[in-house]
């Protein structure tokens, strides 16, 4: 990407993402300190829940959305080798999303939107929070439009040619996000904003939670797809090898998009508003969506194995040692996969219909999603940043050794934070609590784990600050006249010259998604209009 | 890094990824064992 205007667009998105990230890390450390109950001076339920809500929104909505948009623009321009369609619209999208973020931040930081990032009605926030969140989503919808139009224009200009894998996956993510965000958009527009403005007196929390469940699981894959894109299109080349299979990668992205959507009720296993049969149906779908992750794991590890063997690795596992562990992208993928193994296991426990009851409302759940999101996903966002920053600013990375140290500390910190979190869940510590009072033997047993979590949070905060330092030093370094590196996308072992349309577009899959969503969410939503339900008054703000 | 001949490169690239199969088997087997432990060792005893 040599166009300065597009580079500025991408960098603007990524800076917003990483500034939100480091602020959220700071809040996270405050939360483990406060929740531990070991520092009475910090005890404040009001501040704690304001902090948790801000932390969740910054991490889950701001960091991810801005990173995904910026990365998507980079992929579109660099993989398709054409200018971005409608640059002014892309800037409009950026500013709408940024204004929305600032608007939502005001009630969050003043304690008037302590509804957590999952909203949880009938707790209600100031209307500015919901309107700000809506603007953030509207900005992301414009991004989706830009990605899909760019995708369509390229296909029209290159009839029959396979769309580059990176852009195929980015367009898949745009389509996924349009479907994903529809549920929460309906909830916010027709339930939460009218309630927060006093236009309606009551809300049906069952309907609201059902609509949020529509969004709550596929949003995880919206966050995860850039990570998988890096797995497939950057890692094999950085490791010195080839992508094991382009077609398998496309199939994995398709299955991911199609089956990530109709499965959200595993978040509602303990809720009364949906029947057991619907929950079981969604539970089965949850296991289906594990398939593309397995395929991804296989393809990426096979690509690494080829690279390791080309570098002289012998034997069944000798190739692991010959991989270039000092390459930030390769180190990050190894650490990311390690966290995916443990986080994926936690996810299987969550999805297990009966066993879910043991962990559902415990500390196990935040431990799980921090490991998958903060671990597997974010470490690859960081690796992508280390790879793209020099290409975007035209200067070499400030320090590869510091980058490697930052990745290791992120992995170590996340392990120290999330392992005791899982254990606390099994010991019975509830989630969504602001303070632990050590006045009996049960809670006293939690104390050592709380200490470990404080330590893990500190390591993560230090690691996040180091990331910002490395990126800023790279960008602010004197101009390097000799720096002329370009992005390198991995080539598959067997190049693809033609592909069937179902592996090169989404028309068929869009229809399949529509049918599956109608089956899995049709009656569960319509039932609220067929039966008498009693609304709940708003409370909280 | 070893200098490979073109024939050696081709053989490596076209060989089945046996190490990956082995690694995936170990990981999946470990997950099954861990799940069974949690189900029979923790979940069921809690009633």
Q: Considering its fold, how many domains does chain B have in total?
A: 1
Q: Give the pLDDT confidence score for residue B23 in this predicted structure.
A: 97
Fold of A4-540: Cytochrome C Oxidase; Chain A (1.20.210)
Q: Which of A297, A316, A352 sits opposite B24 (nearest CB)?
A: A297
* A432: Cβ contacts below 8 Å, ≥ 6 apart: A116, A361
What is the spatial distance between Cα A79 and Cα A232, in angstroms, rounded to a whole number?
13
Averaged pLDDT, A516-524 = 97
Q: Is there a contact between B39 and A302 if contact means CB atoms under 8 Å apart?
A: no
Q: Please, which pLDDT band fits residue A181 given cuts at 50, 70 and 90?
A: very high
Helix (H) or strand (E) holding A123: strand A123-124
Q: Mean pLDDT for chain B?
A: 92
Active site residue A483: no
Structure tokens at A354: 């009966």
Q: Please, which pLDDT band fits residue A37 given cuts at 50, 70 and 90?
A: confident
Q: Give the pLDDT confidence score for residue A324 in this predicted structure.
A: 97
Any chain A CB within 8 A of the CB of B13? yes
Averaged pLDDT, A510-526 = 97
Q: Is there a contact between A348 and B17 if contact means CB atoms under 8 Å apart?
A: no
Active-site pick, A30, A287, A298, A369: A369
Any chain A CB within 8 A of the CB of B1? yes
Averaged pLDDT, A505-531 = 96
List chain A residues with CB under 8 Å of B22: 316-317
Q: Mean pLDDT for chain A?
A: 95
Q: Please, which pLDDT band fits residue A157 given cuts at 50, 70 and 90?
A: very high
Q: Give the pLDDT confidence score for residue A1 in this predicted structure.
A: 63
Q: Is there a contact between A354 and B43 if contact means CB atoms under 8 Å apart?
A: yes
Q: Is there a contact between A316 and B46 if contact means CB atoms under 8 Å apart?
A: no
In total, chain A counts a number of residues equal to: 541
- Domain assignment present for residue B28? The answer is yes
Quote the minimal CA–CA distance from A340 to chain B in Å: 11
List chain B residues with CB under 8 Å of A298: 20, 24
* A269: Cβ contacts below 8 Å, ≥ 6 apart: A279, A283, A353, A356, A357, A360
| Maximum alpha-carbon separation in chain B | 62
User: For A65-80, how does the pLDDT look when each residue is reduced to its tens digit (9 = 90+)?
Assistant: 999 999 999 999 999 9
Q: What are phi and psi of A537, to 5 degrees?
A: -70, 150
Q: Give the pLDDT confidence score for residue A541 in this predicted structure.
A: 62
List chain B residues with CB under 8 Å of A240: 1
Domain map (residue ranges) of chain A: 4-540
Active-site pick, A370, A381, A386, A521: A370
- Left if phi > 0, otherwise alpha if psi is -120 to 50, otherwise beta: which for A160? left
Candidates B10, B20, B27, partner chain A, best to mutate (most A CBs within 10 A): B20
Active-site pick, A46, A158, A432, A494: A432
Q: Please, which pLDDT band fits residue A2 given cuts at 50, 70 and 90?
A: low
User: For A444-465, how does the pLDDT look when each residue is reduced to its tens digit (9 = 90+)?
Assistant: 899 999 999 999 999 999 999 9
- Domain assignment present for residue B35? The answer is yes
- 3-state SS track over A2-39: CCHHHHHHHHHHHHHHHHHHHHHHHHHHHHHHHHHCCC
Averaged pLDDT, A512-518 = 97
Domain holding B22, by residue range, is 6-46
> Global pTM?
0.96
Quote the minimal CA–CA distance from B31 to chain A in Å: 6
User: For A297-345, how does the pLDDT look when each residue is reduced to its tens digit (9 = 90+)?
Assistant: 999 999 999 999 999 999 999 999 999 999 999 999 999 999 999 999 9
Any chain A CB within 8 A of the CB of B26? no
Quote the minimal CA–CA distance from A346 to chain B in Å: 9
Averaged pLDDT, A144-170 = 97
Q: What are the Cα distances from residue A20, in Å, to A54, A97, A180, A456, A470?
A: 10, 13, 22, 20, 16
- Domain assignment present for residue B27? The answer is yes
Structure tokens at A489: 């996308």
Is residue A319 within 8 A of residue B12, CB to CB? The reply is no
In total, chain B counts a number of residues equal to: 47
What is the spatial distance between Cα A451 and Cα A455, in angstroms, rounded to a whole number?
6
User: For A344-368, how does the pLDDT look when each residue is reduced to its tens digit (9 = 90+)?
Assistant: 999 999 999 889 999 999 999 999 9
Averaged pLDDT, A34-55 = 93
Q: Give the pLDDT confidence score for residue B43 in this predicted structure.
A: 94
Q: Which residues pair with A537 in a beta bridge?
A: A202
Q: Give the pLDDT confidence score for residue A71 in this predicted structure.
A: 98
First CA to last CA across chain B, in angstroms?
A: 57
Rg (CA), chain B: 20
User: For A271-308, how does the pLDDT look when each residue is reduced to its tens digit (9 = 90+)?
Assistant: 999 999 999 999 999 999 889 999 999 999 999 999 99
**Residue whose token pair is 């296993």:** A269
Quote the minimal CA–CA distance from B20 to chain A in Å: 5
What is the spatial distance between Cα A78 and Cα A89, in angstroms, rounded to a whole number?
19
User: For A472-497, how does the pLDDT look when each residue is reduced to its tens digit (9 = 90+)?
Assistant: 999 999 987 778 788 999 999 999 98
Q: Which of A74, A373, A40, A70 is nearest to A217 (CA)?
A: A373
* Least confident stretch, A38-42, A130-134, A221-225: A38-42
List chain A residues with CB under 8 Å of B47: none
* A325: Cβ contacts below 8 Å, ≥ 6 apart: A331, A334
Averaged pLDDT, A499-509 = 96
- Domain assignment present for residue B1? The answer is no
Averaged pLDDT, B13-40 = 96
What is the spatial distance between Cα A299 and Cα A231, in angstroms, rounded to a whole number?
9
List chain B residues with CB under 8 Å of A293: none
| A–B CB contacts, 8 A cutoff, strictly below | 63
pLDDT at B1 over 60: no
- ipTM value of the model? 0.94
Question: Per the omega criterion (within 30 degrees of 0), is the bond before A122 cis?
Answer: yes
User: For A408-447, how does the pLDDT look when each residue is reduced to its tens digit (9 = 90+)?
Assistant: 999 999 999 999 999 999 999 999 999 887 778 888 899 9
Q: What are phi and psi of A536, to 5 degrees?
A: -110, 140
């Amino acid at each position: 990407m040599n166009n300065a205007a597009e580079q500025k667009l991408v960098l603007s998105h990524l800076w917003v993402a990483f500034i939100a990230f480091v602020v959220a890390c700071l809040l996270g450390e405050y939360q483990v300190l406060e929740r531990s109950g070991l520092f009475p001076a910090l005890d404040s339920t009001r501040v704690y829940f304001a902090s948790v809500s801000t932390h969740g929104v910054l991490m889950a909505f701001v960091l991810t959305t801005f990173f995904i948009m910026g990365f998507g623009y980079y992929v579109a321009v660099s993989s398709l080798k054409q200018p971005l369609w409608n640059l002014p619209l892309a800037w409009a999208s950026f500013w709408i999303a940024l204004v929305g973020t600032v608007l939502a931040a005001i009630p969050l930081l003043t304690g008037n939107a302590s509804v957590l990032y999952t909203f949880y009605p009938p707790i209600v926030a100031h209307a500015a929070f919901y309107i700000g969140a809506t603007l953030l989503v509207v900005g992301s919808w414009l991004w989706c439009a830009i990605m899909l139009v760019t995708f369509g224009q390229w296909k029209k200009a290159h009839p029959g040619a396979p769309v580059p894998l990176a852009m195929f996956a980015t367009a898949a993510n745009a389509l996924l996000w349009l479907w994903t965000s529809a549920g929460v958009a309906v909830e916010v527009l027709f339930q939460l904003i009218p309630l927060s403005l006093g236009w309606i007196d009551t809300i049906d929390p069952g309907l609201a939670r059902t609509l949020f469940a529509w969004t709550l699981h596929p949003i995880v894959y919206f966050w995860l797809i850039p990570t998988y894109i890096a797995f497939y299109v950057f890692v094999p080349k950085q490791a010195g090898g080839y992508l094991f299979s382009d077609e398998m990668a496309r199939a994995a992205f398709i299955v991911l998009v199609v089956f990530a959507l109709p499965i959200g009720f595993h978040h509602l296993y303990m809720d009364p508003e949906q029947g057991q049969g619907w929950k079981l149906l969604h539970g089965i779908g949850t296991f289906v969506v594990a398939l593309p992750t397995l395929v991804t794991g296989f393809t990426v590890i096979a690509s690494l194995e080829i690279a390791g063997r080309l570098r002289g690795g012998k034997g069944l596992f000798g190739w692991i040692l010959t991989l270039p562990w000092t390459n930030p992208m390769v180190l990050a993928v190894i650490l990311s996969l390690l966290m995916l193994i443990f986080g994926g296991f936690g996810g299987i426990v969550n999805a297990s219909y009966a066993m879910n009851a043991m962990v559902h409302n415990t500390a196990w759940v935040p431990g799980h999603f921090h490991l998958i999101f903060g671990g597997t996903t974010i470490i690859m966002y960081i690796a992508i940043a280390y790879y793209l920053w020099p290409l975007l600013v035209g200067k070499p990375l400030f320090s590869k050794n510091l980058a490697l140290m930052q990745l290791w500390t992120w992995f170590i910190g996340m392990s120290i934070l999330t392992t005791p979190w899982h254990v606390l869940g099994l010991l019975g510590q509830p989630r969504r609590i602001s303070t632990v009072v050590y006045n009996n033997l049960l809670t006293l047993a939690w104390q050592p784990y709380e200490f470990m979590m404080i330590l893990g949070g500190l390591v993560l905060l230090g690691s996040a600050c180091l990331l910002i330092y490395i990126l800023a030093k790279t960008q602010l370094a004197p101009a390097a006249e000799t720096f002329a590196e370009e992005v390198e996308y991995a080539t598959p072992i067997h190049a693809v010259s033609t592909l069937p349309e179902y592996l090169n577009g989404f028309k068929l899959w869009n229809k399949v998604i529509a049918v599956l969503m109608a089956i899995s969410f049709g009656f569960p939503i319509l039932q609220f209009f067929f039966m008498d339900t009693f609304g709940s008054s708003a409370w909280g703000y | 890094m070893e200098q490979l001949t073109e024939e050696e490169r081709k053989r490596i690239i076209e060989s089945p990824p046996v190490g990956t199969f082995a690694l995936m088997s170990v990981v999946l087997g470990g997950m099954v064992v861990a799940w069974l432990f949690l189900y029979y060792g923790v979940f069921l005893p809690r009633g």
